[in-house]
A and B are shown apart, each in its own frame.
Chain A
Amino acid sequence: MEDMLFYDRLQFAFTITFHYIFPQLTMGLSLIIVYFKWKFLRNQIDKYNDAAKFLMKIFAINFTIGVVTGIPMEFQFGTNWAKFSELTGGIIGQTLAMEGLFSFFLESSFLVLFIFGEKLMSQKMHLFVAFLVFLGSWASGYLILATNAWMQHPVGYEILENGRYVLNNFGALFSNPWLLPAFLHNQFASLTTSAFVVASIGAFYILYGKYVDYGKMFLKTGVIFGLIASVILIFPTGDWNAKNVAKYQPAAFAAMEGIFETETAGSEIVLIGQPNMLEKKLDNKIAVPNVLSFLTYQDWNAEIAGMDKFKPDELPDNIPLLYYSYHIMAGLGTIFIGIMGLAAFFLYRKKLFTFKPLLWVIMFLVPFPYIANLLGWYVAELGRQPYLVYGLLRTADGISPTVSSGNTLFTLMGFMALYFLLGMLFLLLVGRVINHGPEDVQH
């Protein structure tokens, strides 16, 4: 039984981690594409149109892999988490079905029209189609976040005698206090990833000396979008989410901040340190006193419950991973603001395009927003443990009762092999699009 739970969780973690590499780019990129298309309509410079179509090519490859790795996510609710599906399908099925019916339809129908239909319509129409692709991908994010918000903070439900959950307030799914901050944080995180990708392609073209005009355009746009998005990530959206965790999941909050013991006179904020689960303390700790209390409650002396206040079976089951995920994410977010702020400063002084060290840094920065994005989701999902539906349904009680661990291990290995192949193909094909450059889009 323990084995079954372990492999079910590992398979879900692996497949969702790989899957989420792709939607985070498509969600942010769709907005940047709308921006370029809009710029083209305003000033009629062809380069902007080329840029939009070039980015849509990268979008399309991402979208394909996002779709084919997304279908297994929907399926796995049934295949590996059958008990969870049986009990809660009446509720989370609502938002998941809406995602399929509204946003996925919208996004994929109009993506095809954008790529192949430009000659069949006016440029204004083409911009509108790009906007619909953007709308579809963000609506998709919203509905998935609504599903997740219900699992983090269940609302609008009733539990029947047989343990099944019944929806009694549809509106509550969308006015869930968890939803809006999580959605905004997630969308600006996607925008950060995409802006960094666009900036990185720009830096690459400038350094390589190819398509330099496009390179400057991409770099400038990427830096501006990237700076705005990464600031919003920390404040207000990140701050807002942290306060929600403190309020609704105090055990998760203690674990992610690394507070082992409650301090009555106000909690310190931990910057660096390694959780030592044997002695229940942080090794090599660097912390600033009372700051966490202030950030959370605007009161230097507010008491924050430490992990000692909770029963062991109420605490997340992988505290070190949760702690590291949170700290690395927050650390990277801070670094992003630093680098993009610096780039924006040089851009303002008109020196960015010739300042090579910074261009190199921006070019190689690309993996890090992806890492920060994924770790942000790890914080949300690990923090929710040991529950699937917070406070109500334990993760161990949600797995499929008839699927043995041997079967799950087999399929997990299959997914690993297949996704490895997909990952290589993705790099090959996106690399090729970038290498061909934006001028190639006419053919």
Chain B
Amino acid sequence: MELFWYILIALFMAIFFVLDGYDFGVGIIHLFFAKEERDKVVVAKAAGLFWDSNEVWLVAAGGMLFMAFPVLYASAFSGFYLPLIMVLWLIIFRAIGLEFRNLLPYKMWHSLWDVSFGVSSLLLALFFGIALGNIARGVNLGNVVDGVATQESIYFFLPLWTNDFSPFHSSPGVIDWFTIIIGLISVLTLAIHGAAWIIHKTNASINEKLKTVITRLNIALVILTFFSLFVWQLIVPNSLDNFFSTPLLMVFPLIYFAALFGLFAHKKMKDVHRFYLTSLVIIGGITSTLASMFPVIMPSTNDVCESLTIYNASAANEGLSVAFVWGIIGVVLAIIYFIAQKRFRSGKIDDMDYGH
């Protein structure tokens, strides 16, 4: 049962990062590349129309995480207190930037919310990457000082950073240079993804230029990926053991690298295929990280308190079994809603009349 919920939540998170991920990416591209007024409107629209129906996947995943793994929910949310609240603020800024941009016809108003949308998208992409980096690196569960836990073993509290930003401490900060690298990987991935979405969905004048941008960003992404794998090995020496003990799991990194290198041939592809490929990069990246850690979901950096796994952080089995029934129904309904919207989502954005 734990495994079912783990996979379902991971699936929802992956869908969220594919769907809302392009909104973040669009924001980043918007900030750096959309200069002409028409491009700005069209590019913002490429995200603006769908963000709230994309964000439901995060809300649903959050709810299911709470239900199935309350211990993880409690531990991670209180431990990452400040960065999480800041993510909330950024989500608010991004949303109002998108929703309210076109409600008033003044240029100053537009510039204000364009920047709000762009900057908050960039920071959110960075923060989500940093969060993933923290989970890959581990945290000081139990707030252990000199070999003694000062809190219950499932709780911790991370400072935003420590003096030397080093990931090699037993009690590191949220932001160290390893998590920053993962953050940058996230920014690059989502920027590429967003660019692919813009090319697919719009006739913006920057589309040709964006294709070159994708190739360049992808080179940086490849370099950073290999570098981060190397560093990760130094911080968590057994981080890739799962793949050797269960070779079947190799399928996830294979998806990731196949999509990543396949992307170098993107100029010859159909627009929609490019978007599918960048989606696979995201899905492959998230699933590979999770697969390498399995069944751990919150690693401990000390020897006193054991890591949280899907088995010791889950709710009791009775509840999970009941939820299994409504969970299946809910997922089927979610897919039906998604298909119901699909017809309306297809086509280029700037050709559509939304009666707005």
Contacts and interface: CB of A to CB of B under 8 A. Distances in A.
Interface of A: 61, 63-64, 67-69, 71-72, 74-75, 77-80, 82-83, 85-91, 93-94, 96-102, 104-106, 108-113, 115-120, 160, 164, 166-168, 170, 400-404, 407, 410-411, 414, 418, 422, 425, 429, 432, 442-443
B95 A432 contact: no
Contacts of B69: 89
A93 B355 contact: no
Given A86-B73, A97-B66, A105-B60, 20 more contacts: A64-B52, A64-B95, A71-B59, A77-B66, A78-B84, A79-B85, A83-B74, A86-B154, A93-B64, A93-B67, A99-B63, A100-B63, A101-B334, A108-B52, A109-B340, A112-B53, A402-B151, A402-B157, A411-B85, A432-B103
A93 B315 contact: yes
Contacts of B155: 82, 400-402
A403 B81 CA distance: 7
Contacts of B330: 98, 101-102, 105
Tell me the interface secondary structure of chain B in the complex. helix
Contact of A418 (B59, B79, B89): B89
Nearest to A411: B85
Contacts of B227: none
Given A64-B52, A89-B67, A82 B78 contact: yes
Interface in B243-266: none
A86 B316 contact: no
A429 B63 CA distance: 31
Contacts of A63: 52
B63 A403 contact: no
A78 B343 contact: no
Contacts of A105: 56, 60, 330, 333-334, 337
B213 interface: no
10 contacts: A78-B78, A79-B84, A82-B73, A85-B73, A89-B71, A89-B73, A101-B333, A108-B53, A166-B319, A429-B100
Contacts of B85: 72, 75, 79, 411, 414
A170 B53 contact: no
Nearest to A60: B99
A79 B355 contact: no
Contact of A101 (B63, B92, B96, B322): B63
Contacts of B334: 101, 105
B323 interface: yes
B234 interface: no
A126 to B, nearest CB: 12
Contacts of A96: 63, 66-67
A149 to B, nearest CB: 17
Contacts of B73: 77-78, 82, 85-86, 89, 93
A116 B81 contact: no
Nearest to A101: B330
Interface in B76-102: 76-79, 81-82, 84-85, 88-89, 91-93, 95-96, 99-100
Contacts of B52: 63-64, 67, 108, 111-112
B152 interface: yes
A5 B261 CA distance: 52
Given A90-B316, A403-B78, A97 B67 contact: yes
A211 B324 CA distance: 52
B96 A425 contact: yes
Q: What 4 A-B pairs have minimum CB-CB distances, sorted nearest first?
A: A89-B70, A78-B77, A93-B67, A100-B63
Contacts of B326: 98, 101-102
Interface in B103-130: 103-104
B32 interface: no
B75 interface: yes
A118 B356 CA distance: 11
A109 B344 contact: no
A97 B60 contact: yes
Contacts of A68: 91-92, 95-96
A109 B341 contact: yes
Given A67-B55, A82-B155, A402-B155, A109 B337 contact: yes
A403 B155 CA distance: 10
A166 B314 CA distance: 11
A77 B79 CA distance: 13
A93 B356 CA distance: 38
B103 A429 contact: yes
Contact of A116 (B71, B315, B354): B354
Nearest to B68: A93
B351 interface: no
B318 interface: yes
A347 B70 CA distance: 54
A120 B344 contact: yes
Nearest to B316: A166
Interface in B121-178: 143, 151-152, 154-157
B77 A75 contact: yes
Contacts of A67: 52, 55, 95
A353 B261 CA distance: 71
B303 to A, nearest CB: 20
Given A68-B95, A108-B56, A401-B151, A101 B77 contact: no
B322 A170 contact: yes
B27 to A, nearest CB: 15
Contacts of B64: 93, 97, 100-101
Contact of B327 (A101, A164, A410): A101
Given A86-B74, A400-B81, A116 B66 contact: no
A67 B99 CA distance: 12
Contacts of B71: 86, 89
A414 B56 CA distance: 24
B353 interface: yes
Contacts of B61: 100
Nearest to A433: B103
Contact of A167 (B50, B53, B319, B338): B319
Nearest to B57: A105
Nearest to B157: A402
Contacts of A106: 333, 337
Given A116-B49, A418-B89, A94 B67 contact: yes
A331 to B, nearest CB: 35
A139 B95 CA distance: 24
Contacts of B355: 116, 118-119, 442-443
